[in-house]
C-alpha cells in the first residue's frame, strides 16, 4: 500500500512538472510576441510625437492623434491575441473562383486586414492616421510561428500589431495605432470584432 501511494505521488509530481513545463514554454512563446509588439508599439508612439516627421507626412495635423501623442508607452496594461478562426479557414476553402496565389495572398494579409478594418469602422481619418504611423520590421521566423495579431493597451492609447509570414524563413510585424469610436471602450471594440454566427477570428485575453 505504501508503495502504491509513493507511485501515485511520483506520477502526480511528474504530471505537475510536465504541466509546468508546458506553461513555461507557452509563456516564453507569448513573451516573444509581446516583447516584439511592445517594442513596435513604442515606435508608433515615438512617430506620433515626432513633430518633424508629422510635418513631413501631413500639412493638416489630425485631431484624432492628440491622445496618442500624450499617451504613456512605458508599459503595457492589457493584451489580447487575435487568431484566425476556423470559420475564416472554412470560408477561404469555399472560394472556388480564387486562384491559389489569391488564397495565399489573402491568408498572408489577414492579420493586417483585421487591424485596418478596425480603424475603417471608426472613420476615414482613423484609417489615414493609422497608415501614416504604421511601423514595420522583418524578423527571422521563430519556431512554431503562427500568424496572428496582438492588441496592446497603454495608458492613453491602444496599438495593434500584425504578425505575418512574408518569406520562406521571414516574418513581418507591423504596428498600427488603433482608434476607438465615440463612446466605445477598447473591450467593447474587441468584443464587436469577435462576434458573429461564424467565428472568423478567435480573441484571447493574455492579461
If pLDDT is split at 50, 70 and 90, which confidence band does 73 have?
very high
Report the pLDDT averaged over residues 136-165.
95
pLDDT given for residue 24 in this prediction? 40
**In whole angstroms, what separates CA 34 from the centre of its chain?**
9
pLDDT given for residue 99 in this prediction? 75
**Which is it for the CA torsion 107, 108, 112, 117, positive or negative?**
negative
Report the pLDDT averaged over residues 57-71.
87
Name the residue range of residue 201's domain: 2-205
How many independent structural domains does the chain possess? 1
Residue 200, pLDDT > 90, answer: no
If pLDDT is split at 50, 70 and 90, which confidence band does 92 have?
low
Report the pLDDT averaged over residues 60-74.
89
Residue 180, pLDDT > 50, answer: yes
Residue 110, pLDDT > 60, answer: yes
All three cell numbers of 27, joined, read 509563456
Residues 6+ apart with CB under 8 A from 33: 81, 148, 150, 163
Q: CA-CA distance, 179 to 158, in Å (whole number)?
A: 7
Report angle CA 75, 203, 159 to the nearest 5 degrees: 35
Q: Which residues of 38-77 are buried (b: 16+ CB within 10 A; e: fewer)?
A: bebbbbbbebbeeeeebeebeeeebebbeebbebebeebe
pLDDT given for residue 113 in this prediction? 87
Regarding beta strands 135-140 and 148-154, do their DSSP bridges make them parallel or antiparallel, or are they unpaired? unpaired
The residue whose grid cell reads 496582438 is 150
pTM of the predicted model over 0.85 = no
Q: CA-CA distance, 77 to 55, in Å (whole number)?
A: 30
Number of Cβ atoms within 10 Å of the Cβ of 197: 6
Report the pLDDT averaged over residues 51-69.
88
Residue 193, pLDDT > 90, answer: no
pLDDT given for residue 3 in this prediction? 42
Report the pLDDT averaged over residues 167-176.
95
Amino acid at each position: 500500500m505504501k508503495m502504491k501511494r509513493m507511485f501515485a505521488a511520483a506520477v502526480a509530481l511528474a504530471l505537475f512538472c510536465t504541466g509546468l513545463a508546458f506553461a513555461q514554454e507557452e509563456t516564453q512563446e507569448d513573451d516573444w510576441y509581446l516583447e516584439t509588439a511592445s517594442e513596435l508599439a513604442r515606435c508608433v508612439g515615438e512617430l506620433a510625437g515626432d513633430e518633424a516627421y508629422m510635418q513631413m507626412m501631413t500639412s493638416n495635423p489630425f485631431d484624432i492623434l492628440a491622445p496618442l501623442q500624450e499617451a504613456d508607452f512605458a508599459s503595457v496594461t492589457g493584451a489580447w491575441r487575435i487568431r484566425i478562426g476556423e470559420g475564416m479557414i472554412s470560408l477561404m476553402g469555399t472560394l472556388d473562383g480564387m486562384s491559389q496565389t489569391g488564397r495565399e495572398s489573402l491568408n498572408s494579409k489577414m492579420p493586417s486586414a483585421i487591424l485596418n478594418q478596425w480603424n475603417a469602422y471608426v472613420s476615414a481619418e482613423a484609417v489615414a492616421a493609422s497608415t501614416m504611423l504604421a511601423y514595420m520590421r522583418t524578423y527571422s521566423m521563430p519556431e512554431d510561428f503562427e500568424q496572428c495579431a496582438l492588441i496592446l493597451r497603454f495608458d492613453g492609447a491602444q496599438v495593434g500589431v500584425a504578425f505575418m509570414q512574408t518569406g520562406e524563413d521571414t516574418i513581418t510585424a507591423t504596428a498600427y495605432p488603433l482608434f476607438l469610436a465615440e463612446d466605445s471602450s477598447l473591450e467593447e471594440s474587441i468584443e464587436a470584432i469577435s462576434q458573429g454566427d461564424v467565428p472568423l477570428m478567435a480573441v484571447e485575453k493574455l492579461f
